Structure 1
Amino acid sequence: MKKVQEFDIIESEEERKEKLLDYYLSTDAGSIDRLHMYHFLRGYIFQGNFSSPIENKLIKGGCKVLDIGCGPGTWLLDLSNKYENSHFFGVDIKPIFPQEIKPNNLEFIETDVTNGLSFHDNEFDLTHAELMSLMFTPQQWDFVLSELIRVTKPGGYIEIADRRSGYVGEGPIFRRLTGSMWESHLNRNIDVKLVYNLDSKLKLLSNIGKVHRIEKDFIVGPNGGKIGLVFQDIAMSFFNSDIACEFISKEMGISEKEYKNMIEELDEEFKQTSTECVHVRFWAQKQLLDEQSY
């Protein structure tokens, strides 16, 4: 029986897209553990879970906070336990957040933010997005930012945090691995440098006040001390995962065996290099109604 070629092409394309989604939004236990670890690492290097000047309101209570792309909800779980009199909401396209065991002041919602947020205008005191730079195209970012601003109260804050897509001083193995990852994102029309320069985009928005930028950097691996070793553990856990092995080896055009040999050598390479990793936070205040009239 002759195969219908067109059907095979459509089926393989759908399978490819599904695998891409699983790769970028992996929900296995290892991925969730890495996200938990990474949350606490970022909190340590910034000395806090947020930089917007809103802690007094959170302590006082009645504050409403939204986190988009909340993943397993680590950031929100941390805050909702600390600020028991305020209210927290998390949204994500994949429901890897806790379904039942969570604080009473925390709610999770499964939704795709690129289709719009279901919340009212001027509802939140703080809207937050972290590690979302590789999820949205530039056009989607424009829409997502407009939605974040829409649901933020006048006088409230918008805060966005991420990691610079490139590294400085990396070795050849790490450069080759990360280069193939950035290339795969470019093929999806993702601007890997957009979020790192997000302050210029935020400044163009008419109802946003001064945009603040905070950067923190460290060295990956043993030469970066405890922080560097923790980040190396997170990176090595990711590169050693089955889904990374399958996806990145295909992107690089090498066998999975060759890929695994590279990862073994990467561990040694980190000892010989001082790869700089930079994290950045932006925060800005939505202007009060009377300020917008000027």
Structure 2
Amino acid sequence: MGACLCKPKLGQKRLKPRRRVPASSVSSPLSDAHLIISDHFDCGVNEEYRFIDGRRFHNVRNSKYMMPCDDDELDRLHVLHYICRFIWQRNYSAPMHDRLSSGALVLDIGCGTGTWVVEMANEFPNSHFTGIDIAPVFPREAKPENAQFVEANLLDGLPYNDNTFDYIHMRFLITAFSKQEWERALKEIVRVTKTNGIIEIMEDEIEPRNDGPISRLLHSAFLSDLLSRNIDTTVYKHMTDILMNTRQLTNVKLEEMSTPFGKWAGRIGALLAENTANIFRTFRTKFSSFLGLEPDEYDKLLEAWHCELSEYKPYNVGYRFLATKYK
């Protein structure tokens, strides 16, 4: 999910301002026990939100993205950012350091809490960073001067001219698009990328490898829900082909990273597992119904899943795709 700097919509209700600090000043959850994102981000309230089982979701008609846009989800996304940065040991893989240092225009699609944008903007003050998302859950005021956020839906077309950005970054949208929508999205991304500009896309496999029967049972509910909405749950398998089929990209590269999954693997493995557990908890009613379980039975299954991870010792696989626009 991402964010935006947008004009308030007509009829939009506004919450009282909350205390905010720049995301860059918040310590990494890899060392801190907990972070309350609601203290730092103004989520806003408007008629486009819908509420299910006490969780707040976007109500964008043509978006298949299933995750909530409330405080608990912002906590999850914020922690996921730091997990990702620790695993890859950097916020990006594109060969962009020199251009970012001298000054570049950067777009982060599906920016969510805006943590990546804020960190990158602080690291590269000569460049300008824009984050977009379908839900305005990003920082509104406490952000670097070279960062802005825009509420926009990629599938509706990006509000930018052709050949605008030097670097486009996108991640964690595997639950958002069908195969056809990925193709549309990539075509639009290429359109706003400058010649010789670089596109970087990062996605993780939904289900850990080498997992046990409880894990496969829980993930069957998750995957079935995604497939029922025509989500491409294995886009990483043919992302390279999608990029090449635009006929405007070259130097397409793939980086792969495997990470142990579960408490048995230490701090990062435990955080990865808890991140997935939070998704299972979010859809407790839906997934327990799919599995034919009472809610309390589902809770016990989730507890057993944590124990199973230590027995099977699964691992998570993530991918970063890079491509350069040549025309």
- Bin of the TM-score, shorter chain as denominator length: 0.7 to 0.9
Name the structure 2 match of 1:275: 314
Cα separation, 1, equivalents of 2:240 and 2:294: 41
Q: How far off its partner does 1:20 sit?
A: 7.5
How many equivalent pairs are there? Answer: 271
Given the alignment of the two structures, is residue 38 of structure 1 paired with residue 77 of structure 2, yes or no?
no
- Of 248, 271, 275, 2:287 maps to 248
Question: Contact (CA 8 Å) 1:162, 1:196: kept in 2 or not?
Answer: no
Name the structure 2 match of 1:60: 102
Q: Secondary structure at the match of 2:321?
A: strand
Structure 1, residues 103-143: CA drift from partner, whole Å, max 9, x if none?
11111111111100010110101111101111011111111
Name the structure 1 match of 2:249: 208
Opposite residue 68 of structure 1, the aligned amino acid is: I
Structure number with greater Rg is 1
Name the structure 1 match of 2:91: 49
Q: Secondary structure at the match of 1:166?
A: coil
TM-score, structure 1 length as denominator?
0.86
RMSD between aligned alpha carbons? Answer: 2.0
Q: Secondary structure at the match of 2:238?
A: helix
Name the structure 1 match of 2:323: 284
Q: Secondary structure at the match of 2:266?
A: helix
Question: Contact (CA 8 Å) 1:65, 1:87: kept in 2 or not?
Answer: yes
- Of 7, 10, 26, 2:68 maps to 26
Cα separation, 1, equivalents of 2:58 and 2:302: 23
Dislocated runs of 4+, deviation >4 Å: 18-23
Name the structure 2 match of 1:74: 115
Q: How far off its partner does 1:253 sit?
A: 2.9
Given the alignment of the two structures, is residue 92 of structure 1 paired with residue 139 of structure 2, yes or no?
no
Question: Contact (CA 8 Å) 2:58, 2:68: kept in 1 or not?
Answer: yes
Given the alignment of the two structures, is residue 102 of structure 1 paired with residue 143 of structure 2, yes or no?
yes
Given the alignment of the two structures, is residue 143 of structure 1 paired with residue 200 of structure 2, yes or no?
no
Given the alignment of the two structures, is residue 239 of structure 1 paired with residue 280 of structure 2, yes or no?
yes
Larger helix fraction of residues: 1
Q: How far off its partner does 1:165 sit?
A: 2.7
User: Could you list the runs of 5+ residues in structure 1 that have no partner in the other structure?
Assistant: 1-13, 290-294
Cα separation, 2, equivalents of 1:94 and 1:174: 30
Structure 1, residues 65-97: CA drift from partner, whole Å, max 9, x if none?
101111111111111111111101111111111
Cα separation, 1, equivalents of 2:92 and 2:110: 16
Question: Contact (CA 8 Å) 1:68, 1:128: kept in 2 or not?
Answer: yes
Q: How far off its partner does 1:190 sit?
A: 1.1
Q: How far off its partner does 1:15 sit?
A: 8.6
Name the structure 2 match of 1:292: none
Q: How far off its partner does 1:259 sit?
A: 1.0
User: Could you list the runs of 5+ residues in structure 2 that have no partner in the other structure?
Assistant: 1-49, 60-64
Structure 1, residues 206-247: CA drift from partner, whole Å, max 9, x if none?
11012100000011113323321221232233333xx32123
| Pair 21,183 (structure 1): closer, same or farther in 2 beyond 3 Å | farther
Q: How far off its partner does 1:21 sit?
A: 5.3
Structure 1, residues 236-263: CA drift from partner, whole Å, max 9, x if none?
33333xx321232233232211111111
Give the alignment of 1:104-143 within 5 angstroms.
104-143=145-184
Question: Contact (CA 8 Å) 1:163, 1:196: kept in 2 or not?
Answer: no
TM-score, structure 2 length as denominator?
0.78
Name the structure 1 match of 2:303: 264
Cα separation, 2, equivalents of 1:205 and 1:199: 10
Name the structure 2 match of 1:184: 225
Q: Secondary structure at the match of 2:170?
A: strand
Opposite residue 27 of structure 1, the aligned amino acid is: C
Cα separation, 2, equivalents of 1:255 and 1:52: 47
| Pair 137,19 (structure 1): closer, same or farther in 2 beyond 3 Å | farther
